[in-house]
Structure 1
Amino acid sequence: MKVVLGLLLPCLLAEVWLVPGLTPDPQLPEAQAQLTPTAQNGTGEEDGDEAARDKEDRAEQNGAEEDGEEEAEEAEEPWLTASGQQLSEETSNFGFSLLRKISMRHEGNVVFSPLGLSVAMAALMLGATGQTEAQLGPGLSLPARDQSRPVPRQALFRQLRDRLSRNRELGLTQRSFAFIQEDFDVKETFLNSSKSYFDTECVSLNFHNASQAKRLMNEYIKKETQGKIPKLFDEINPGTKLILVDYILLKGKWLTPFDPVFTEEDTFHLDRYKAVKVPMMYRAGKFASTFDKNFHCHILKLPYRGNTTMLVVLMEKMGDHLALEDYLTTDLVDTWLRSMTTRRMEVFFPKFKLEQKYEMHELLKQMGIRKIFSPWADLSKLSVATRNLRVSKVLQRAAIEVNEKGTEALVGTLSEIIAYSMPPIIKVDRPFHFLIYEETSRMLLFLGRVVNPTLL
Structure 2
Amino acid sequence: MDTLSEANGTFALNLLRKLGDDRSKNVFFSPMSISSALAMVFMGAKGNTAAQMVQALFLSKSGGGGEHVHQGFQLLLAEVNKTGTQYLLRTANRLFGEKSYDFNSSFKDSCRKFYEAEMEELDFFKAAEEARKHINTWVANKTEGKITELLSPNSVNQSTPLVLVNAIMMFRCARITPRFCADHPFLFFIQHSKTNSILFCGRYSSP
TM-score (norm 2): 0.69
- Name stretches of at least 5 consecutive residues in structure 2 with no aligned partner: 132-170
Q: Distance in 2 between matches of 1:146 and 1:435?
A: 27
Give SS of 2:91's match: strand
Q: Which amino acid aligns with 1:188?
A: S
Give SS of 1:92's match: helix
Higher-strand-fraction structure: 1
Aligned to 1:120: 37
Matches within 5 A, 1:21-32: none
Please tell me whether the aligned partners of residues 433 and 448 of structure 1 are also in contact (alpha carbons under 8 angstroms): yes
Q: Distance in 2 between matches of 1:99 and 1:185?
A: 36
Q: Distance in 2 between matches of 1:433 and 1:144?
A: 26
Aligned to 1:397: none
Aligned to 2:185: 431
Aligned to 2:139: none
1:6-56, Cα deviation, whole Å (9 max, x unpaired): xxxxxxxxxxxxxxxxxxxxxxxxxxxxxxxxxxxxxxxxxxxxxxxxxxx
Q: Distance in 2 between matches of 1:213 and 1:126?
A: 32
Shift of 1:168: 3.2
Aligned to 2:50: 133
Aligned to 1:448: 202
Matches within 5 A, 1:139-154: 139-146=56-63, 151-154=67-70
Shift of 1:206: 2.1
Please tell me whether the aligned partners of residues 176 and 199 of structure 1 are also in contact (alpha carbons under 8 angstroms): yes
Q: Distance in 2 between matches of 1:163 and 1:205?
A: 32
Q: Which amino acid aligns with 2:196?
A: R
Shift of 1:428: 3.7
Give SS of 2:202's match: strand
Aligned to 2:80: 164
Matches within 5 A, 1:150-299: 151-169=67-85, 170-210=87-127, 282-283=177-178
Q: Which amino acid aligns with 2:32?
A: L
Aligned to 1:110: 27
Matches within 5 A, 1:26-41: none
Q: Which amino acid aligns with 2:77?
A: R
Shift of 1:146: 4.8
Aligned to 1:101: 18
**Identical residues among aligned pairs (%):** 28
Please tell me whether the aligned partners of residues 180 and 205 of structure 1 are also in contact (alpha carbons under 8 angstroms): yes
| Misfit runs of 4+, over 4 Å | 211-214, 259-262
Higher-helix-fraction structure: 2
Please tell me whether the aligned partners of residues 94 and 141 of structure 1 are also in contact (alpha carbons under 8 angstroms): yes
Please tell me whether the aligned partners of residues 145 and 151 of structure 1 are also in contact (alpha carbons under 8 angstroms): no
Shift of 1:211: 6.6
Please tell me whether the aligned partners of residues 206 and 213 of structure 1 are also in contact (alpha carbons under 8 angstroms): no
Q: Distance in 2 between matches of 1:103 and 1:144?
A: 26
Give the 3 Å change call, closer, same or farther, for CA 94–208 of structure 1 in structure 2: closer
Shift of 1:438: 0.5
Please tell me whether the aligned partners of residues 33 and 91 of structure 2 are also in contact (alpha carbons under 8 angstroms): no
- Count, aligned residues: 165
Shift of 1:446: 0.7
Please tell me whether the aligned partners of residues 4 and 72 of structure 2 are also in contact (alpha carbons under 8 angstroms): yes
Give the 3 Å change call, closer, same or farther, for CA 261–136 of structure 1 in structure 2: same
Q: Which amino acid aligns with 1:100?
A: R
Shift of 1:207: 2.0
Shift of 1:167: 3.6
1:136-159, Cα deviation, whole Å (9 max, x unpaired): 112211244559xx6531111111
Give the 3 Å change call, closer, same or farther, for CA 141–431 of structure 1 in structure 2: same
Q: Which amino acid aligns with 1:156?
A: G
RMSD of Structure 2 on Structure 1 (CA): 2.8
Q: Which has the higher contact order (CA 8 A, sep 6+)?
A: 2
